[in-house]
Amino acid sequence: MSVDTKNQLAVALHYDKTGAPRVTAKGRGVIGAKIIELAKAHDIPIEENEVLAGALSNVEIGDEIPAELYKAVAEVLIFVLRLSGRIR
């Protein structure tokens, strides 16, 4: 199965428990596919959420996510923590 990278959108977040999570990378097409490839290569959990990715793609790289996205991003963080075994 091949993935159509033409419209592939990816947004990478980093959260260091100070302030809000920050957008650390974003891209569409080949760049989006590369972000996903790198995440997989480094065992970084991936949550597929097209609507959230679209909203986060409007945030500048290095900026904290806006307050209106806190709840959605918190759900992703819970997903990641569960995958890593840090919470049940």
Domain ranges of the chain: 9-83
pTM across the whole model? 0.84
Within 13 Å, how many C-alpha atoms sit on residue 32's CB side?
17
User: According to CATH, what is the number of the domain 9-83?
Assistant: 3.40.1690.10
Cβ count near 75 (within 10 Å): 13
The tens digit of pLDDT for each residue in 16-31 reads 888 999 999 999 999 9
Copy the structure tokens of residue 14: 């980093």
The tens digit of pLDDT for each residue in 34-66 reads 999 999 999 888 889 999 999 999 999 999 999
CA 65 from centre of chain: 11
